[in-house]
Chains A and B, each alone.
Chain A
């Protein structure tokens, strides 16, 4: 699966305290519609792209958003993925315009909900009322039949709440809504907010396991929700839970473009490295290296590699 990943603009309607883009937001860098169309054409000349992924900042609040969705879905007839906080979809008129732009194309979106307690979500987004708006937007999208997943970014501030968050998801969203548990890149703002953001696998994984015990109970009660854990090495979790770990694809992003204050950095790049995986010396002789998603290189920079327990 070859993905073209474009961050179409850095402006955002949230100020998440672990977002690597937050530092660059004052510059509000973005691509114009023409720049994005040219980027797509250039990408397709070089790579056989299976799907396009739009990100930001918050992609939905960029001027070019609706037209570029229309271009990808209706003119290029490619599947589209969207990383969004879903706030704009709390407005039905915007959702209607968006659905019209997507047309009959395959589409899916992923939205982060940082906690089931509104105040805690709002603290991490630094935006009062964002929990309610995101939840309304998500529910609107689900009601419209959009293929949707909820993502929980595991940080020091919220990892203990994960088991309760599981109940919230099962009580709030229908079975077809996926759930992603994701460890984050410890860079930029995440490093600056040391007390709130970085959390070690040693601390968070017992709570992940408790959360997965709940998921298993729901499975036994007939629920079929797709629950997956990202950027968590197999060796850090009890093998009983390996079913939930998303396997490594070993693929880099086929094409990548993001605005940047430095012109050189905002050029279209191919086979862009992901910054995750199993590049660590300790992993070389591990028997499950072929399927292990590994972790962020930034995690190892921050915590060292002592957390790795190669399977031999």
Chain B
């Protein structure tokens, strides 16, 4: 799993983001939801970057927006 250290101006601190497509929230580790709800201090933690958009309209082409409004 690829990990990237990033700096957040919003938090004024660095943290690590795990870049794994298969990661799902709730399967261990700190999540963005934990971050947003204040349940976790992100210092030295891994945040899994997830994408759980289950809409198939966007799976093939995320730019359809300009074709039809």
> Which residues does A use to contact B, with CB under 8 Å?
1-3, 5, 7, 14, 16, 18-21, 50-51, 53, 55-59, 79, 81, 83-85, 106, 108-110, 112, 114, 125, 147, 149, 151, 153, 178, 180, 182, 184-185, 187, 190, 209, 216, 219-220, 226, 228, 230-231, 238-243, 246-249, 251-254, 258, 274-276, 287-288, 290-291, 293, 296, 311
Contact = CB atoms under 8 A, between A and B. Distances in A.
A152 B39 CA distance: 30
A79 B67 CA distance: 20
Given A16-B69, A108-B55, A239 B64 contact: no
B2 A249 contact: no
Interface in B9-54: 9-11, 15, 17, 19, 21, 32-33, 35-37, 49-54
B9 A275 contact: no
A84 B68 CA distance: 7
B61 A182 contact: no
B60 A5 contact: yes
Given A19-B68, A249-B62, 18 more contacts: A1-B56, A5-B60, A51-B56, A51-B59, A83-B64, A106-B56, A147-B55, A185-B66, A231-B65, A239-B7, A240-B11, A240-B35, A241-B10, A246-B58, A247-B51, A254-B60, A287-B2, A311-B4
